[in-house]
């Protein structure tokens, strides 16, 4: 399985990915009764605390 996430930065990206992996595999085990032997977590985007804007501040 694969999952893609967006994470805050700066932070421990490896630790965040490990936490996502644990949470997703635990939920699948609980909800579907299935074990997930391999879950790839891809980081699609990093969000800096300094560059966060609300939709009102963005210009498209």
Name the least confident of 6-20, 21-35, 42-56.
42-56
What DSSP line would sit under the chain, residue for residue?
A: -EEEEEEEESS-HHHHHHHHHHHHHHHHHHHH----S--EEEEEEEEETTS---TTT---
Mean pLDDT across the chain, nearest whole number?
A: 86
Residues of the chain above pLDDT 70, percent: 83
Using the structure block, give the residue that is written with the tokens 């997703």. 24
**pLDDT exceeds 60 at position 48:** yes
- 33 pLDDT higher than 70: yes
- Give the pairing of strands 40-48 and 2-9: parallel
């Amino acid at each position: 399985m694969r999952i893609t996430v967006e994470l805050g930065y700066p932070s421990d990206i490896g630790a965040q990915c490990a936490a996502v992996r644990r949470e997703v595999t635990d939920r699948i085990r609980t909800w579907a009764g299935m074990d997930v032997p391999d879950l790839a977590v891809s980081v699609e985007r990093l969000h800096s605390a300094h560059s966060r804007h609300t939709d009102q501040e963005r210009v498209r």
